Amino acid sequence: MVEIAADPSHPRYQSLLMRHRLEQAEKKGMLAGSALIAHGRGEAFDYLLGEQTIPSALIATQHSLAILSAAQHPVISLNGNVVALAGKEVLHLAHLLQCPVEINIFYRTPERMKALLDHLNEIKQQEEFDVEILGAEPDARIPGLEGPRANCSKQGIFDSDVILVPLEDGDRCEALVAMGKTVLVIDLNPLSRTARMASVTIVDELSRVITNMNRMLLSNEPVQQVKNYQNSQTLQETLGHIATFLSSKV
Amino acid sequence: MVEIAADPSHPRYQSLLMRHRLEQAEKKGMLAGSALIAHGRGEAFDYLLGEQTIPSALIATQHSLAILSAAQHPVISLNGNVVALAGKEVLHLAHLLQCPVEINIFYRTPERMKALLDHLNEIKQQEEFDVEILGAEPDARIPGLEGPRANCSKQGIFDSDVILVPLEDGDRCEALVAMGKTVLVIDLNPLSRTARMASVTIVDELSRVITNMNRMLLSNEPVQQVKNYQNSQTLQETLGHIATFLSSKV
């Protein structure tokens, strides 16, 4: 059992809160077996960022939000960890953007799908968010992928022009890019295949990113697309930041 | 369910094998709730090492083995992840060094202790290792620690002069150093408090380290203590290695 610090100013408050959310999600059957290991990998990379939103990530966040806001058919793709870690924040973002979310999980079982849908619908009702939750009945396939992981909703991911996919798998990121979509990802590992394949990579912790986006939208802070955005430059700046962090510890 | 590649030459064979071992251990009730997250953190740091034993880690391994070999009362402290990931290899090492092992876990419950003891005793019998397994009946306490995590065996950890503690918690590492022991740790995070507190820190993946030690002992490869060993230098060399790795990706 994870003990959550009572005081949000505790330096490990956020990190313990995220672990607590995963623990609750596991009890509800929302997570795949690899979920906790994946989260641990993220924790290590976040540690190397100093557990903060670094400047290049904030720019990538603003750029992504501007692209989402201007999209014709935006969609937010959700997996188990995303729903567990930031289900409420993500539904709030979708509510503000007036775009659907789609549950799209790698290890698809009816039990996990039901647990995730129930959890999201509960939040949606409690918070009175006006958001369409897709994914329950996939009726299209992502070309280039095999098996159940190719399943998606025509109205959601398949027909989208812009897709925000936090914590995505490399194969699926590649397949979505190959479909011609603008793929915005949130990934703490700047060296992952997902990070390298995406149109825009936000190297930052999921709940921080979504909270930043919601804050920008609620404050009417103007967010603009970066002209001639180069994702490789974002990744380079991130690696530079980590290298400086490591040097400071020597 | 983790799929293990049938072919050991598969690039992800070792990593998938370790996940498989954790999965088996979880089914047996050997692991604490935080075990998989901790393993994920390790995976990320190992990725930054290039999933290999780097030169500074090999030197720290040789130095540690020489210290263990020369000790009066050496002991190897084991937690759930260590037993899961390298139970057999560690018992083999203890057999070769003719030193006891002690199960010493942070979240101590009778059920976990029994699962770990059963697992180790099964290996011991199968492999005919001549090793004393301590920890079932703690009769001493590590000064400076509170609650069950202070419990230890007088004959093992308490009276040891040299202790090998893979994957140790920072508080306990500090408490063991304060007892005047030579504390040898295996920790993939070169910035952790454990890594900084220890007498010698081997920044390498657990099963690689123990396999290296067993190979050195079985081949009669001479291992010598490093004169005027400075652990801070080992950590600096490790950070330098990671910084170079990151630069190569830019």
- The CA distance from A58 to A54, in Å, is 6
- The CA distance from B156 to A97, in Å, is 61
**B70/A contact by beta carbon, under 8 A:** no
A155: tokens are 């109205």
Distance from CA of A4 to the nearest CA of B (A): 14
Note the pLDDT of residue A250.
66
Residue in B36, B236, B250 closest to A36 by CB: B36
Residue in B2, B41, B239 closest to A43 by CB: B41
CB atoms B1 and A33 under 8 Å: yes
Q: For residue range B136-145, what is the model confidence (pLDDT) as tens digits?
A: 999 999 999 9
Tell me which DSSP letter residue A150 carries: G
**A243/B contact by beta carbon, under 8 A:** yes
Q: For residue range B225-250, what is the model confidence (pLDDT) as tens digits?
A: 999 999 999 999 999 999 888 888 76
Distance from CA of B38 to the nearest CA of A (A): 6
Q: For residue range A131-165, what is the model confidence (pLDDT) as tens digits?
A: 999 999 999 999 999 888 899 999 999 999 999 99
**B126/A contact by beta carbon, under 8 A:** no
Query: Which parts of chain A have pLDDT scores under 50?
Result: 1
B242: tokens are 């990671």
Q: Cβ neighbours of residue B88 under 8 Å, at least 6 residues apart?
A: B123, B127
- Sort out which chain B residues have CB atoms less than 8 A from A23's CB and list them: 33
Residue in B45, B243, B249 closest to A44 by CB: B45
Nearest to A28 by CA among A127, A112, A126: A112
Q: For residue range B177-223, what is the model confidence (pLDDT) as tens digits?
A: 999 999 999 999 999 999 999 999 999 999 999 999 999 999 987 88
pLDDT band at B5 (very low <50, low <70, confident <90, very high): low
Q: Which helix (H) or strand (E) holds B114?
A: helix B110-127
Distance from CA of B217 to the nearest CA of A (A): 33
Q: By CA distance, what is B233's nearest residue in A?
A: A250
Q: Are strands B140-141 and B151-152 parallel, antiparallel or unpaired?
A: antiparallel
Give start and end residues of each alpha helix (H) in B71-109: 80-97
CB A196 within 8 A of CB A177: no
Note the pLDDT of residue A79.
93
Q: For residue range B13-43, what is the model confidence (pLDDT) as tens digits?
A: 888 899 999 989 999 999 987 899 999 999 9
- Residue with the two structure tokens 């369910």: B1
- Sort out which chain A residues have CB atoms less than 8 A from B194's CB and list them: none
CB atoms B40 and A38 under 8 Å: yes
Per-window interface: A 41-60 vs B, CB < 8 A? 41-45, 47
Q: Report the SS3 class of residue B190.
A: coil
CB atoms B249 and A239 under 8 Å: yes
CB B142 within 8 A of CB B157: yes
Reported ipTM exceeds the 0.85 cut: yes
| Helices and strands, counts by H and E, chain B | 9, 8
Q: By CA distance, what is A16's nearest residue in B?
A: B34
Q: Report the SS3 class of residue A126.
A: helix
- Sort out which chain B residues have CB atoms less than 8 A from A246's CB and list them: 191, 239, 242-243, 246
Q: By CA distance, what is A249's nearest residue in B?
A: B191
**pTM for the whole structure:** 0.90
- The CA distance from B62 to B30, in Å, is 30
